[in-house]
A = this chain, B = another copy of it.
Amino acid sequence: MRHDVKFSLSIDDIPKRWYNIAADSPVPLPPPHNPATNEPMDPKALEAIFPRNLIEQEISQERYIDIPEEVRDAYVMLNRPSPLVRAVRLEKALKTPAKIYYKREDLSPCGSHKPNTAVPQAYYNMKAGTEHITTETGAGQWGMALSLACSMFDMSCKVFMTCSSYDSKPYRRIAMETYGAKVYSSPSGETKYGREIKAKFPDTPGSLGIAISEAIEAAVTDPTGKTRYSLGSVLNHVLLHQTIIGLEAKKQMQMAGEKLPDVIIGCAGGGSNFAGLAFPYTTDKINGANIEIIPVEPAACPTMTRAPFSYDHGDTAGMTPLLAMHSLGHAFVPPPIHAGGLRYHGMAPLVCQCIVEGLFTPRAYPQSKCYESALTWAKTEGTICAPETSHAIADS
């Protein structure tokens, strides 16, 4: 039988440390700015939003950060390590001489890579004494992952879901409720900001930016001080946790007898799944390896390919620090394309920094082309991929 198609690791091969690209970036990341003063901000100011242990990861310059034993055990429950698979049937259909490998992050209980960071975020929050977590979600994958992670560590979870996805994907809401979360259609009546937006724009399809503002407001206004906010992408510590993907992939590519890939492709909404795969290889590129690294986004929300690089808020209300990133503007509301997870006005600062340094070459595709690729993928590789993922396939 063929031994060149699927590469599986044992649970002992689950990496013991995450990789922090901040240690290797040729240029240091511009610091977050205070949203009120536009001056570099003290990380302590973030403590109303995030627990201190995660803030430490957010600003860490250490190259490797240990993964707690409890988190590695939880990764097993999330079905890690995930297989690396060679797309032999797709290669044949495309008549390409290229070898195409893909990482099966869809095999987690929630069907996405999101639990890779939801679980450590819930774990560190639990350690820091947090009892309730609030968050936003687009298509619902992040909300599902955090809902599950909170149930694992006995915390309650409130999710603000962009209303276009809330309406089009009711089963995702039900899934979050199954894990014990409370889910609100955003903009909601639960927050001051949500009520304002609803009054001003009654027909808005919602956006991740709006939902983030609501979730932060819900966290910081809790009088008990036991509520923190959790973000599913964009921030440094989120991308850090996702490097588990690329670290595993590197071991598996070695099993496959490959040295380094020529091209790395991933879809990018806030940037975390893409960075998770790409960062452990980006260090090779920084050190001279010839690798083309391509984040793919929807033409309907062209953050990396069309938006300026500047300081902007991560949310719509302007509650988050100002981050140095490509941004379509924090008030930008993308059209309600199916790839709800790619409807974000900004992009992870660490990803943007790599774009600025010429390490990544982003591309954008229209929805219809992505869907055509997804059909070819389903007929060859057998899985029906997410709308988000189809953006990466369109580039293959």
| Residues of chain A having any CB pair with chain B under 8 Å | 1-3, 5-6, 8, 10-12, 14, 69, 72-73, 76-79, 83, 89, 104, 107, 109-110, 148, 151-152, 175, 178-180, 375, 378-379, 381-384
Contacts and interface: CB of A to CB of B under 8 A. Distances in A.
A53 to B, nearest CB: 21
A143 to B, nearest CB: 13
B89 A107 contact: no
Given A1-B72, A73-B2, A378 B8 contact: no
B76 A1 contact: yes
21 contacts: A1-B11, A1-B12, A1-B72, A3-B11, A5-B73, A5-B76, A5-B77, A6-B11, A6-B76, A6-B77, A6-B79, A8-B10, A77-B89, A78-B382, A107-B107, A109-B381, A109-B382, A151-B379, A178-B379, A178-B384, A179-B378
A13 to B, nearest CB: 11
Contact of A384 (B69, B73, B175): B175
A379 B152 CA distance: 7
A151 B289 CA distance: 39
Given A1-B76, A79-B104, A148-B382, 19 more contacts: A1-B11, A1-B12, A1-B14, A1-B72, A1-B73, A2-B76, A6-B76, A6-B77, A8-B11, A77-B89, A77-B382, A79-B107, A107-B107, A109-B381, A109-B383, A109-B384, A110-B382, A151-B379, A178-B384
Contacts of A5: 73, 76-77
A370 B169 CA distance: 24
Contacts of A175: 384
A76 B84 CA distance: 12
Contacts of A72: 1
B8 A178 contact: no
Copies of this protein in the complex: 2
Contacts of A79: 6, 83, 104, 107
Contacts of A110: 382
Nearest to A5: B76
A11 B3 CA distance: 8
A224 to B, nearest CB: 24
A3 B89 CA distance: 34
Contacts of A109: 381-384
A301 to B, nearest CB: 24
A3 B78 CA distance: 15
Contacts of A10: 8
A142 to B, nearest CB: 15
Contacts of A78: 382
A178 B383 CA distance: 10
Q: Which 4 pairs, one residue from A and one from B, show the smallest C-beta to C-beta distance?
A: A109-B382, A109-B383, A178-B378, A151-B379
Nearest to A70: B1
A378 B109 CA distance: 9
Contacts of A76: 1-2, 5-6
A91 to B, nearest CB: 13
B379 A179 contact: yes
A78 B1 CA distance: 14
Contacts of A382: 77-78, 109-110, 148, 152
A104 B77 CA distance: 12
A375 B179 CA distance: 8
Given A107-B107, A382-B148, A178 B1 contact: no
A11 B85 CA distance: 12
Nearest to A144: B384
Nearest to A115: B382
